[in-house]
Amino acid sequence: MKNINSFLLFSIVYISFILLFNQTMGRKAIPGGMVPYLIIALPIVLASMGFYWLMNYIAYKKGPVKKILDTALEFEQAEVFKIKKNDNQFDPKEFLKGVKRLATILNQAWCENKMDLVRNMVSAGIYNRFRIQLDLMLKDKTKNIMADWVLSRLNIRSVEVDEVYETIHLELTAYARDANITTGLSPEEEKNIIENTPQTYYSEIWSFVRKKGLKTEQGKFLLSGNCPNCGGDISGKGQLSKCGYCGSIVNSGEFDWVLAEITQHEEWRPNLSSGSIDLSEFQASNGLVSRQIIEDRASVLFWRWIQAGYFNSRTYLSRETEKERLDTIALNHSGVHDVAVGAVDLNGCQMESGKIKAEVLILWSGADTNLSESLHREHYLTLAIQPSSNSKNGLSGNSCPNCGAPLPESDSLNCDYCSAEVPAITDDWLLSSIREKN
């Protein structure tokens, strides 16, 4: 578009100049016809074009900053109907207002390295992935800045309903000056980098999940800062997944919508995750057997493995790995950096030695110490759970049983927040093995 505009401007200026010049000279004949005019005109026109391009470049680098007062809230009527069919009170605009609130807090949480602000509105997978990424970046002395962030549009694209869960996929579009900078710069140096970073557009698919068959209830909207079970005010209690009034795990997905996945728009394939794996024989006795929960847990365990490799310590894995398997988990990936996960897909479930075992394939990329370019990688994770596990966590992460705060990253047996005793190994899906796909 810019090139076409420049070309048009160039042509108009050039032709006008020739015509004007010709008019001024009147009928005085110059040997060579129009050629001398063209030769004189060309450098002048080129100089003005150069000036025009320079102005454009400066405008691109420094602004004008896009300011959006009202985020466009949009939805596909037919998709939303899949929810309204059983939940007439569901209001897509109200839902999107809640998403806007979450997006704003999540952006702040990411930029200020305070993921505790949003823990009780997102799944274990999202919370841990972001927290571990921030941890690794801090170790590398870098941080990400999203200056002049504006949310331009939220659009409900599709709705999926399976045996256990309902899922809303919505497209989020926003603008920001997105820059990775070294920590410890002076405010002037940071300001200079931000001013020289253009405000660019990006688009992501956010997937929200809740238990099938739930009904929307006024005043019990998690994304507005209320406990979705009792309606109590839980805003400002972002790190606690347990409601202080009624004891519910608020982001389990058992009561209301929870952000469970963020996918880059280019990588999103609608309806890719098949609901075709039959888990019904395990689901009767165990509430943690579902594709969504297993894939969310697998993503947490994968990131823990990356973190353990990065810091060369199995302590990061010990609370969520089968005790007898911990020493067999290889940590030969200490130099891997720039990790990005493309897909997490459940392959199947089976009974083995009295436990339910799930196999999950992770497609990811990362660069080795000596390489700058990222390589595509594929790993199988095996997760195991006792059939009798009666955890109520759902999509929420493992928490202190007393206050609902995140469990300590160390192997400490006491909660960092309330000092209550916490389990050495969680009653949940545990890592059993990890191996590279041949």
Q: List residues binding Zn ion (CB under 5 A).
A: 227, 229-230, 232, 243, 245-246, 248, 400, 402-403, 405, 415, 417-418, 420
Shortest Å distance, C-beta 250 to Zn ion: 7
Question: CB-wise, 230 or 367, nearer to Zn ion?
Answer: 230
Strand-by-strand arrangement of the 430-436 sheet: 337-352, 355-367, 375-385, 430-436
Nearest alpha-carbon partner for 384 in 282, 274, 251? 282
Residue with Cβ nearer Zn ion (338 or 421)? 421
Shortest CB 275 distance to Zn ion, Å = 31
Cβ distance to Zn ion smaller for residue 73 or 227? 227
CB of 243 to Zn ion, least distance (A): 3
| CB 128 to Zn ion: min, Å | 18
Q: In the complex, what is the shortest distance from the CB of residue 313 to Zn ion, in angstroms, rounded to a whole number? A: 23
Strand order in the sheet with 200-211: 72-75, 142-161, 165-182, 200-211, 258-264
Closest CB to Zn ion among 50 and 247?
A: 247
Nearer to Zn ion, 197 or 229 (CB): 229
Helix (H, G, I), strand (E, B) or coil at 94: helix
Radius of gyration of the chain (CA): 28
Rank residues 309 and 406 by Cβ distance to Zn ion and give the closer one. Answer: 406
- Residue 52 structure tokens: 């025009």
Structure tokens of 363?
């497609």
Angle between helices 124-139 and 92-111 (to 10 degrees): 20
Half-sphere exposure for 132 (CA within 13 Å, toward CB): 27
200-211/375-385 β-pairing: unpaired
- Spatial CB neighbours of 408, under 8 Å, sequence gap ≥ 6: 414, 415, 416, 422
User: Taking the complex as a whole, how short is the minimal distance between the CB of residue 414 and Zn ion, in angstroms?
Assistant: 8
